[in-house]
C-alpha cells in the first residue's frame, strides 16, 4: 500500500506550528504521557487547553507544572471526567460546554491498556472498550455541536494494536466473557475507536458538515500506559523493551498535535511515526489496514454505541 509523505524526510514537527493564540483545545487524559506533552506544545504556541482528567490530584499537579513552565497566566485548566463512568462523561461534557464557547479540537487521547484481568465498568462494559471507545463516543457526541459551531476538529488517538489481536469487533462477546485476554481486548478497543473515527468522517461528509476528523497513533512511546493495568510480566517486558525500541512521550505527542492543527490532512488516513514498523521516526502518513475502514462493522458499532451510551446522534 502506498502512502503519501507530504511532510518530507523529516516529517511533521512542532517547528511547523504557527501561533495558536485564540484557539481552544480539549484533551482527554492530559495529566501524563502523550496528552501532557501535547498540552505543553499547544501552550507553548499560545493556545488555551482544557484537560479532561480523572484524577484531581494528578490534574492539579500537572497544571502546577505547566504554570511553572509557561507562567501563571498560561491558559490551562481542567474538568474532572472519568471515561469509565458514563454519568461522569455527561457531567463533564455539560461543565465543559459552560466553560468554553468554542472548541477548535477535541483530542481523544486518554486510554487504559493491557488490563491484566477482565474488569467491567459500572455501566457494564469491558474496561478498555468502556474507557477508550464508549466513553469517547459519548463525549464526542455531546460536544459535537460546539465543535461544529467552531468549525473544529476531532482527533482520535489510535494505536498500531488496531491491526493486531483479533482484527475485528467481537459483537457477539464485546466484553470477552468467554476468553478474555489483555492483548485482544485492548486491540479491540483501539480498533473500535478507529472504526468509529472513519465512520464519523463519512457521516460528516454525507451530512455536509464542517468538522474534520483525523486519526493518529504515537508509535511506541515511553509513557505510563501499562503502569497501573498490565500484568507484572507485561510491565517488566515493556520496561526493558521500551528503553530499546521506544521514543520519548514528547515525540509521541507530535501526531496528535499535528492532527489537531495542520491543514491539508486527508480523510481515511492514519498519521504517526513512520519508521521501524511505525513505532518511531518522522511523523507522516502511515499505511492503513483496511480493517479500520470496514463499513459493515462501522454501521453496527455506531448502532451499538448509541444504544450502550443512550446517545441519539443523528448524523
Residues tagged active-site: 186
Verify binding: residue 31, ligand NAP, rule CB under 6 A: yes
Number of chain positions touching ligand NAP (CB under 6 A): 31
Residue 112: HSE in the Cβ half-sphere, 13 Å Cα cutoff: 26
State in angstroms the smallest separation of the CB of 21 from ligand NAP. Answer: 26
Q: At CA 295, angle to CA 294 and CA 299, rounded to 5?
A: 125
State in angstroms the smallest separation of the CB of 269 from ligand NAP. Answer: 17
301 CB neighbour count, 10 Å cutoff: 21
**Cβ proximity to ligand NAP, 58 vs 315, nearer residue:** 58
What is the number of the residue whose Cβ is closest to ligand NAP? 33
Among 153, 163, 217, 308, the residue binding ligand NAP under the rule CB under 6 A is 217
Handedness of CA 223, 228, 232, 234 (dihedral sign): negative
- Please report the DSSP string for 31-92 in residue order: SSHHHHHHHHHHHHTT-EEEEEES-HHHHHHHHHHHHHHH-TT--EEEEE--TT-HHHHHHH
Q: Measured between alpha carbons, how far is 315 from 309 in angstroms, rounded to an integer?
A: 16
Q: For residue 27, give the 3-state DSSP assignment.
A: strand
Query: Cell digits for 169?
Result: 469487533
Verify binding: residue 224, ligand NAP, rule CB under 6 A: yes
Q: What is the DSSP letter of 130?
A: I
Among 34, 66, 93, 192, the residue binding ligand NAP under the rule CB under 6 A is 34
Q: Measured between alpha carbons, how far is 37 from 315 in angstroms, rounded to an integer?
A: 33
State in angstroms the smallest separation of the CB of 186 from ligand NAP. Answer: 8
Q: Binding mask 79-108 vs ligand NAP (x if CB under 6 A, - otherwise)?
A: --xxxx------------------------
Verify binding: residue 255, ligand NAP, rule CB under 6 A: no
**Cβ proximity to ligand NAP, 30 vs 74, nearer residue:** 30
Q: What is the DSSP letter of 171?
A: G
Verify binding: residue 157, ligand NAP, rule CB under 6 A: yes
Residue reference for cell 520496561 = 239
**Cβ proximity to ligand NAP, 85 vs 151, nearer residue:** 85
Among 11, 14, 29, 273, the residue binding ligand NAP under the rule CB under 6 A is 29
Verify binding: residue 66, ligand NAP, rule CB under 6 A: no
Amino acid at each position: 500500500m502506498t502512502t503519501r509523505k507530504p511532510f518530507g524526510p523529516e516529517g511533521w514537527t512542532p517547528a511547523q506550528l504557527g501561533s495558536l493564540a485564540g484557539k481552544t483545545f480539549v484533551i482527554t487524559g492530559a495529566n501524563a504521557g502523550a496528552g501532557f506533552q501535547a498540552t505543553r506544545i499547544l501552550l507553548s504556541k499560545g493556545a488555551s487547553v482544557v484537560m479532561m482528567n480523572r484524577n484531581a490530584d494528578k490534574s492539579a499537579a500537572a497544571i502546577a507544572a505547566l504554570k511553572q513552565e509557561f507562567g501563571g497566566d498560561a491558559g490551562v485548566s481542567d474538568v474532572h471526567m472519568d471515561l469509565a463512568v458514563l454519568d461522569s462523561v455527561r457531567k463533564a461534557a455539560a461543565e465543559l460546554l459552560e466553560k468554553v464557547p468554542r472548541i477548535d479540537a477535541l483530542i481523544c487521547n486518554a486510554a487504559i491498556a493491557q488490563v491484566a484481568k477482565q474488569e467491567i465498568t459500572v455501566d457494564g462494559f469491558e474496561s478498555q472498550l468502556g474507557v477508550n471507545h464508549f466513553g469517547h463516543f459519548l463525549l464526542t457526541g455531546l460536544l459535537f455541536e460546539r465543535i461544529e459551531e467552531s468549525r473544529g476538529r476531532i482527533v482520535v488517538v489510535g494505536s498500531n494494536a488496531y491491526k493486531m489481536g483479533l482484527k475485528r469487533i467481537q459483537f457477539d462477546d464485546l466484553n470477552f466473557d468467554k476468553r478474555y485476554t489483555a492483548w485482544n481486548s485492548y486491540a479491540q478497543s483501539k480498533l473500535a475507536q478507529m472504526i468509529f473515527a472513519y465512520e464519523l468522517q463519512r457521516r460528516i461528509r454525507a451530512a455536509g458538515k464542517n468538522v474534520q476528523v483525523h486519526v493518529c497513533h504515537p508509535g511506541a512511546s515511553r509513557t505510563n500506559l501499562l503502569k497501573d493495568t498490565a500484568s507484572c510480566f507485561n510491565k517488566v517486558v515493556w520496561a526493558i523493551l521500551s528503553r530499546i525500541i521506544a521514543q520519548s512521550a514528547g515525540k509521541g505527542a507530535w501526531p496528535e498535535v499535528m492532527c489537531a492543527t495542520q491543514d491539508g490532512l486527508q480523510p481515511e488516513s492514519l498519521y504517526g511515526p513512520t519508521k521501524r514498523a511505525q513505532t518511531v521516526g518522522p511523523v507522516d502518513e502511515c499505511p492503513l489496514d483496511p480493517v479500520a475502514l470496514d463499513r459493515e462493522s462501522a454501521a453496527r458499532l455506531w448502532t451499538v454505541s448509541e444504544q450502550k451510551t443512550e446517545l441519539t446522534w443523528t448524523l
